[in-house]
Structure 1
């Protein structure tokens, strides 16, 4: 199990995966919006998205868990 975490504070602008999706390492999971910039957050491992912890328009802080990959 691997946690995908936010690397900065911002709003979840777009969720790019769904629970149950099979993803590759370095695939973008969500795009955060912070200070009018779009910041993609990628998975560090390949696997299946077990759980999404955020939805579009949520606010996250640095270090918050965005998704769990198995």
Structure 2
């Protein structure tokens, strides 16, 4: 979901992957292009970035979690 008119951006997994690292915490200010989480799939590191500036209101994953395609990773408001 894109941020339009005050609506939060939900960042979701695009593939099955392991959560390698959580880079930000709730309350962190981020800008377009900032990395929130680093996923690992097939020995590749995949940064999960935000496309909007704002405040991270939720991080729904922890290091070591496995995410499925479509799973909620974070919310930026």
Instruction: For 1:45 and 1:7, locate their aligned partners in 2 and report how far apart those are by CA, in whole Å.
Output: 18
Question: Deviation string for 1:8-58 (max 9, x for gaps)?
Answer: 110000001000000001111101011111011101111000011001000
Give 1:32's aligned residue: 39
Q: Distance in 2 between matches of 1:8 and 1:30?
A: 14
The residue number in structure 2 matching 1:20 is 27
Q: Does 1:51 align with 2:58?
A: yes
Cross-structure match for 2:4: none
Q: What 5-or-longer segments of structure 2 have no aligned partner?
A: 1-7
Moved beyond 6 Å, runs of 4+: none
Paired residue total: 70
Task: Flag the structure with higher strand content.
Answer: 1
- Unaligned residue ranges in structure 1 (runs of 5+): none
Greater C-alpha radius of gyration: 2
